[in-house]
Amino acid sequence: MDGNGRWAESRGLPRHAGHKEGVRPVRMCIEECARRGVEALTVFAFSSENWARPSVEVSSLMQLFLEAIDREVDELHKNKVRMRFIGDRHALSVKLQARMAATEQLTAANSGLKLQVAVSYGGRWDILQATKKLSAAVASGAMALEAVTEEVFSRELMLSGVPDPDLFIRTGGDYRISNFLLWNLAYTELHFCDTLWPDFDKPHLENALRAFAMRERRFGLTPGQLNVAREGETSQRA
Ligand code: FPP
């Protein structure tokens, strides 16, 4: 969700105004994904590296997260959204941690969209925390080294239980992943658009989904192998 700062600065506004304006497209994406039956949506709200921003911007973002949770949680719950926060919570205020835990508890049994909000999150941090947990289990003898498979490793990551993303969307005109879900994005289709996040609206999302629908996803196979697999699926259905 990149471009909030530039959106505000180009209007002579403080950067915080851009973040505030960025809540609207988040709501639109959640509503659209829920309506379309998308299984999971993960939004990158605050990275491990964002802590190095000016303290006034960091604290205004933390305040914005608190306010957004308080304002939106009932509606999300009513719409059966299951909400989780992913990231290193230790660095967050006790108040924010408590709101996150309460929101997760409230929505845990919901059967609709799985919504993950990444706060204080970094893909490298995520891989490292999983590695540490598994290393401790191996070192203590609770787990054999040979038992550490990709599947077992995935279960220790923050997106455990959520399928790997099919589509990654980055706004704001930069072409990079910026330490998002490094492990989980291995075969994700990437979509970049120049629109600044506060201006990202339904047609932009539809455009990304249309572009995604045109992609051929081979997962390392050859086009010939894919055709054989597709023919198999068709004859199974017939
Ligand atoms: C990146 O833009 C955006 C952020 C660091 C904050 C994202 C937060 C929101 C969209 C607020 C709402 C979120 C939730 C989950 C309620 P930037 O500041 O790096 O923009 P720039 O590249 O133009 O400086």
Per-residue pLDDT of the chain (238 residues; tens, 9 = 90+): 999 999 999 999 999 999 999 999 999 999 999 999 999 999 999 999 999 999 999 999 999 999 999 999 999 999 999 999 999 999 999 999 999 999 999 999 999 999 999 999 999 999 999 999 999 999 999 999 999 999 999 999 999 999 999 999 999 999 999 999 999 999 999 999 999 999 999 999 999 999 999 999 888 988 888 888 888 888 887 7
Name the residue with the closest Cα to ligand 1, atom 6. 45
Count of domains for the chain:
1
d(CA 58, CA 78): 30
| Distance from residue 38's CA to the centre of ligand 1 (Å) | 23
CATH number at residue 76: 3.40.1180.10
Tokens at 38, concatenated: 């998308």
Provide the H-helix boundaries in the chain. 4-9, 15-21, 23-36, 55-78, 94-107, 123-139, 150-155, 202-213, 223-237
Which residue, judged by its Cα, is nearest atom 18 of ligand 1? 5
Ligand 1 site residues, Cβ closer than 6 angstroms: 1-6, 19, 22-23, 26, 43, 45-46, 50, 61, 64-65, 68, 117, 172, 197
The residue behind tokens 């455990």 is 160
Which residue numbers are catalytic?
2, 50
- Which atom number of ligand 1 is nearest to the Cα of residue 8? 23
Domain extent for 116:
4-237
DSSP notation for 154-202: HHTSTTTTSPPPSEEEE-SS----TTSSTTTTTTPEEEE--S-GGG--H
